[in-house]
Chain A
Amino acid sequence: MKKKVLTVDDSRTIRNMLLVTLNNAGFETIQAEDGVEGLEVLEEANPDVIVTDINMPRLDGFGFIEGVRRNEKYRAIPILVLTTESDAEKKNRARQAGATGWIVKPFDPTKLIDAIERVTA
């Protein structure tokens, strides 16, 4: 069965790149534009793994991750953070919020897929 990936990113460009990359790698992709939408679609999307941006309007990545972790069903889902931010403080916050891993943009499609495979198998 195809693995489902929920991507949360406010940039249309990145959303499209994720879509192409993930679809080419044989994943089913569900996309949300910010943390609020991400949480809204979570139940219905029922993903196997989540890839999220940090800087987003309405609800940022930290809040989104915390929201997902509060959900009993998804509290242990792998969440990868995909962002241009690379400073330690942000990483720590994301990890405290419950992020599984961290990928710094610009993402290299191979690296992204590797990372997803690593946390989903």
Chain B
Amino acid sequence: MDMNEIKEIFFQECEEQLAELESGLLRLNDGDRDPETVNAVFRAVHSIKGGAGAFGLDDLVSFAHVFETTLDCVRSNKLEPTAEVLKVMLKSADVLADLTNVARDGGSVDQARSKQLIRELEALANGEAPPPAAVVEAPAAKPAAAAPAPVVNDEGFVPVAFSFDDFGGEEDVLIVHPTYEISFKPKADLYSKGNEATLLLRDLSRLGEMSIHCNMEALPSLEQMDPESAYFSWKISVKTDKGEDAIRSVFEFAEWDCDLEISLADEGTAAEMTDEELPMQPVPFDLSVLDDEPDAPVGVVEEEERLAAVHESAATVAAAEVASNVVQLASTASRAAAEPKAAAPAAAAAQNTAQAASAAAPTIRVDLDRVDRLINLVGELVINQAMLSQSVIENDNNGTSSINMGLEELQQLTREIQDSVMAIRAQPVKPVFQRMARTVREIADITGKSVRLITEGENTEVDKTVIDKLAEPLTHMIRNAVDHGLEMPEKRVALGKNPEGTVRLTAKHRSGRIVIELADDGQGINREKVRQKAIDNDLIAADANLSDEEIDNLIFHAGFSTADKVSDLSGRGVGMDVVKRSIQALGGRINISSKPGHGSVFTMSLPLTLAVLDGMVVTVAGQTLVVPLTAIVETLQPEASAIHSFGASQRLISIRNSFCPLVDVGRILNFRSTQANPVEGVALLVESEGGGQRALMVDAIQGQRQVVIKSLEANYTHVPGIAAATILGDGRVALILDVDAVVSASRGQPLKLETSLAAAG
């Protein structure tokens, strides 16, 4: 694994953390005061900062730092997470997301926005009004300093100001390195925290010429000695050009638990001083002896080593005494080592239960390509199984039951495999919904409206491809809902509504499809205005008699926008027609229902997957076509008496006292030039985009089947009226009908066929 891969992991993790951050903030916004929620939010920002620091992403680090400081105030109850505070934080989360994206994909962020937010965050952390712009670059540590709590009894960690210039001149002339006198007296804690005096001394010896004097006065008699206490202290003089900082850094970790004095000594006086203070002669300290560390608990070993050192020096303690002491200590060591072993099984048992608990939902990350390859293979398997079934049926007329039973089981298994594989690709719509929260915030800001987004069914799962393609149309619809749908707060108050508008985004499964609903409680569609606009744009005749539903659906026409002035948001040349087209491209439908004064509801129904489709296999002019089952309301055999001519070439069919236009699929697709006789065929009643029904005329129904969708565009080219292709059980290619395209073609918008389908087929 190299740094680039880790960086990739970092950005993946960022996405997760950002999602966590946003959902946590939203929970806080909803009044959740669970400390764990605040902690999770804090950790999310903290993790991003940590990783960003490792990759030198300074912009990200500095923003995350300020954000984190403010969150820390919330965490420590210094700052109440009010709606105002959370508003700033949610915006900050957005900026953090932007910064992450910029760090990954390049580009630039809105500097003014992020600076403004840094100001706001700092102000919140300081509990004061936003400071003037000039203070923006103030060190990020400032909020922490302003907070009352931190107790700074941390002198040991205060960086020591040091400059080589202090002795630079002297050094140059004399070429003599300064000598430092160090007095080092460890406390017992130093050892119990895993630090080690010998290691420190050895580190120190690397700095330069060193002499060590060990003071063993405090060492009690062996009976009274606590092997884990600290009795020795050292006087060290080091001649080094590395400076005091280097010496301090050796003791960096130990400074907590020792008395340490470092001073710059005059050459010559050092030896005198130590001689006076120490009752003993300098002990030559052979550090190499200490390198061979026995396998025993560190605390004891350390004591052993110190005693060994004493032994080596042969200074004051009798050799035999020390030796016996070492043996004693060694046996303590083995006892200490043995005890945990006895406790191990119990610990292991506890570990197992804990693991079982934490293993609630283990997940693995799999490359999407691998899943897609599997899906493709399963698709091939389904086709192959269908072909096998077909040939068995053709060749085995007397129906040997064992083969048929085997085949049926195979079919069922194949279907199950397929469902399972599809489930792998299924993902909750949550990430997309979360992105919408941000969209809402941004538009609310720009339009000056107050909006609350409520999401429901975030965990509804749908194929990843669908999710990926859902974001864009959804964003646009949300923009529209806020920009056009919701009224300004003052107007809402005047209307007796809550000044805060509500946009509700819901996802749910319904009969094998996912239904996404976007509802707002705004003004609804202004039908008069829509109608007028449609007339102005020559979309409808001035005297056209349209139902409310039909008027509402006019907004899906290309180039239709009712906003009086083109606002920053909606008038970007992307209309609802684009939304509709992208939903259709996903095999979905979109409907609108609107109540003036009460708001509008957009309902999108999408297939759960783009890989398979339940279809009805039909014959049209000798061609085999597949009609998506979801589009079909019912099938019927028309009677001559039910067919009525209408206009020049139109025909209607009467179904239960209502008339429905009859669409000859064969004609529309140019399979044949003359109209088929409806009485000889079958009519498929389909629900079309606008909610209206049409009867599609086909010659015969072959059956119903799940088919694997093969993109025509990827393998051939886009064919109007055809959504995709598939391979049937007999190995033949069948085209999947694009019902909506055929229906709209029947309304007099002929399909623009580049190639005649009959020729292509």
Contact = CB atoms under 8 A, between A and B. Distances in A.
Nearest to B154: A88
Contacts of B500: none
A36 B196 contact: no
B193 interface: yes
Interface string A91-112: 1100100111110011100000
Interface in B33-76: 39-40, 42-43, 46-47, 49-51, 53-56, 61
Of the listed residues A19, A98, A106, the one surrounded by the most CB atoms of chain B closer than 10 A to its CB is A106
A88 B157 contact: yes
A78 B194 contact: yes
Contacts of B47: 10-11, 13-14, 55
Interface residues of B, number: 63
A43 B340 contact: yes
Interface string A50-61: 000101111000
Contacts of B358: 36-37, 58
B170 to A, nearest CB: 30
Nearest to B337: A73
A119 B256 CA distance: 14
A85 to B, nearest CB: 8
B1 A119 contact: no
Contacts of A101: 195, 252-253
B150 A84 contact: no
A17 interface: yes
Contacts of A99: 193
Interface string B1-17: 11101100110110000
A100 to B, nearest CB: 4
A121 B43 contact: no
Interface in A24-49: 36-37, 40-41, 43-44
A119 B199 contact: yes
B324 to A, nearest CB: 23
B51 A36 contact: no
Given A13-B9, A76-B299, A98 B196 contact: no
Contact of B43 (A13, A55, A69, A102): A55
Contacts of B153: 88, 92
A2 interface: no
Contacts of B354: 36, 40
Given A43-B344, A57-B43, A95-B193, A87 B144 contact: yes
Contacts of B61: 106
A41 B354 CA distance: 11
Given A12-B12, A76-B191, 4 more contacts: A72-B339, A73-B337, A76-B297, A101-B195
Interface of A: 10-14, 16-17, 19-20, 36-37, 40-41, 43-44, 53, 55-58, 69, 71-73, 75-79, 83-85, 87-89, 91-92, 95, 98-102, 105-107, 115, 118-119, 121
